[in-house]
């Protein structure tokens, strides 16, 4: 005889009995009475604090940097010596701005700013000009495009349409921004209206020679290179105790502009083209010689060329104008300043420290 199978018994999980919610006091008629709120110090009523949303929650407080120290600015001369002598902070007003309609309160820029120059006002992350060093890091990390630097495309277009010659000063690192051959880049800039196209590597040669002479005269000790305006501005604002360690030599951009004006006259306008946003602040620093009229980043330069109907890949290959560049074409590479200055260095030598990146 076959045995009958017993029907399977499904076991249900026993749910824990939840404690009943406390009953709210009710008025006559069944309506709930208003919940009593906590009284503040001023005697007013304040509601219980709401838990902060995860997305819009401000970042945890970080150790604060000291307030920037700023002194009066002086006009510089025409030499390669930096007249600030490592003691004055420049101005970066208006270089970086916030596009409020794009800000989504993610606070990524607040966390990524090395100078703690971004604060939250009215739910928007705004830049504090007196703290900003114009490094442009916030414009790169913001995924919403809420941080942008000022554009110089229209001003450069106005210079090209004027009656004075305009010289394009190409940063030594321009091959990293232009995948086309260097000759086509020079030809495209001339087709756009630039009268001269000069490599800033020539100014890097002059600066490297000035560094070598300064280090020979100064002897040993700690010295901080000032080719990067963001690094120099950070030291002047937040580490004034290290200002005396800054090498008092202008950047290759300023050195090249001085050389171009000596070669072609003070009537020529100089436009620097490179990847660094901080150059915009350096060009307007009143403590430096006013020899650079405008600064374009590589994306801005491409935008200018496209607006004037010039395609870099289809431009004729042409050479650069004098003054010519020498061995300082390696200036933007790690250790490029040491190599350009002809200084002896070894990877195991602790006397020379090369720092790159963030």
Q: What is the pTM of this model?
A: 0.74
The mean pLDDT value for 212-238 works out to 90
According to DSSP, residue 49 is labeled P
Q: Which of 141-145, 220-224, 312-316 has the lowest mean pLDDT?
A: 220-224
How far apart are the C-alpha atoms of 173 and 227, rounded to whole Å?
13
Give the pair of three-digit tokens for residue 87: 């003691």
Band (pLDDT 50/70/90 cuts) for residue 239 is: very high
More confident residue, 86 or 335: 335
At residue 32, does pLDDT exceed 60?
no
The residue among 212, 283, 299, 211 whose CA lies nearest residue 249 is: 211
Mean residue pLDDT of the chain comes to 80
How far apart are the C-alpha atoms of 130 and 124, rounded to whole Å?
18
- Domain residue ranges of the chain, discontinuous segments joined by +: 96-149, 150-340
Topology of domain 150-340, CATH: Rossmann fold (3.40.50)
More confident residue, 226 or 87: 226
Residue 67 pLDDT: 45
Residue 59 pLDDT: 44
Residues making up the chain, counted from first to last? 358
The answer to whether 211 and 178 have CB atoms below 8 angstroms apart is no
Assigned CATH for 96-149? 3.30.70.20
Most confident of 11-20, 30-39, 281-290: 281-290
Buried b (16+ CB within 10 A) or exposed e, 19-37: eeeeeeeeeeeeeeeeeee
């Amino acid at each position: 005889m076959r045995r009958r199978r017993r029907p399977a018994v499904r076991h249900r999980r026993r749910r824990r009995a939840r404690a009943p919610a406390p009953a709210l006091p009710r008025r006559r008629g069944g309506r709930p009475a208003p919940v009593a709120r906590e009284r503040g110090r001023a005697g007013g009523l304040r509601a219980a604090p709401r838990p902060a949303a995860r997305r819009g929650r401000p970042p945890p407080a970080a150790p604060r940097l000291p307030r920037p120290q700023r002194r009066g600015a002086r006009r510089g001369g025409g030499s390669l010596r930096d007249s600030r002598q490592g003691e004055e902070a420049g101005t970066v007003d208006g270089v970086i701005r916030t596009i409020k309609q794009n800000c989504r309160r993610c606070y990524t820029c607040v966390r990524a700013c090395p100078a703690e120059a971004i604060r939250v006002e009215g739910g928007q992350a705004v830049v504090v000009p007196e703290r900003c060093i114009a490094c442009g890091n916030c414009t790169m990390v913001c995924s919403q495009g809420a941080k942008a630097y000022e554009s110089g495309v229209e001003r450069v277009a106005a210079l090209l349409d004027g009656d004075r010659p305009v010289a394009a000063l190409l940063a030594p690192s321009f091959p990293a921004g232009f995948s086309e051959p260097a000759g086509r880049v020079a030809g495209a800039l001339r087709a756009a209206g630039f009268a001269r196209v000069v490599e800033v590597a020539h100014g890097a040669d002059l600066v490297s020679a000035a560094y070598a002479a300064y280090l020979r005269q100064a002897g040993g000790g700690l010295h901080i290179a000032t080719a990067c305006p963001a690094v120099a501005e950070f030291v002047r604002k937040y580490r004034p105790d290290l200002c005396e360690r800054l090498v008092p030599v202008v950047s290759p951009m300023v050195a090249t502009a001085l050389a171009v004006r000596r070669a072609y006259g003070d009537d020529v306008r100089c436009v620097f083209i490179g990847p660094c946003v901080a150059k915009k602040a350096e060009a307007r620093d009143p403590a430096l010689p006013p020899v650079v009229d405008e600064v374009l980043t590589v994306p801005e330069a491409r935008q200018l060329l496209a607006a004037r109907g010039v395609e870099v890949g289809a431009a004729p290959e042409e050479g650069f104008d004098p003054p010519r560049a020498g061995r300082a074409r390696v200036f933007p590479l790690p250790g490029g300043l040491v190599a350009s200055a002809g200084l002896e260095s070894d990877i195991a030598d602790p006397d020379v420290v090369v720092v790159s990146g963030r």
